[in-house]
Structure 1
Amino acid sequence: MKTITIALSLFAVFASANAVADVKLADNSKLVGKWQVTAEALALDREKKKLQVTWEFQKDGTLITTGEDARSGIGEMTIPIKYSVADGLIKKQVTPGREKYEDCAVVEMDEKDMILKCKFLYLFMTRK
């Protein structure tokens, strides 16, 4: 009985790990345009923190991020960073001016909505 319980537990773990199927991007054509980043979460099934950030993917490989950091009191900021699509993933600059990149996988995508899985966060986006 213990063996069956362990086997079922392992099966459940592998099944849940494969339940999130990534969308493999061939190029940036499906990304180009403005996206409203509406929320972020540590996992798909965890609490979502609301955000007011806009990402604009441009054809030339520039990602314009516009948002407001309420804690700093600076107001709205616009930050251009580099991005590309390679191996089906979005590779975006972590910090402007530095050549360190993070991979973001598209977990779900349709004409209106997209969910990205970056290194530590899931980002929930709606096309503007």
Structure 2
Amino acid sequence: MNAYAKMGQDVAVETASPHKLISMLYEGAILAIVKAKAYMQNGEVAAKGESISKAMSIINLGLLASLDTSVGGELAHNLQMLYEYMLRVLLDANIQNDSAKLDEVAVLLRDLKGAWDAIEGKTQAEAAAPVERASVSYARA
């Protein structure tokens, strides 16, 4: 069963548009945080750490690495600051065993994912507005 699920994920990634890939990264990070919170509540320290590490990897090596500040300007810079903030909060959540910090990052990721998903199919000018509002409001946090 796991092999079929893995194969389905591989096919989804291979056939996804760049826009969809970013959405999938948000989704993966959120899922990893949800799992980390469950592991935290069950006292499964190693599994909690692995899930938080997975979320951090997705944010760092996927979302943060995909930013191009030379093209994205202020929006990309704000997202960069936000992703770096999320990484710090996730590290603190792991060290302090703090589920509220996991919730904080999950909310940020859900908001960004919602804004990102809303812009699919719009022009670049129309598309930047909802993501920029989300990133600026959280970059100030």
| TM-score (norm. length: structure 1) | 0.23
Q: Which has the higher strand share?
A: 1
Q: Which has the higher helix share?
A: 2
Question: Which of 1 and 2 has greater Rg?
Answer: 1
| TM-score (norm. length: structure 2) | 0.21
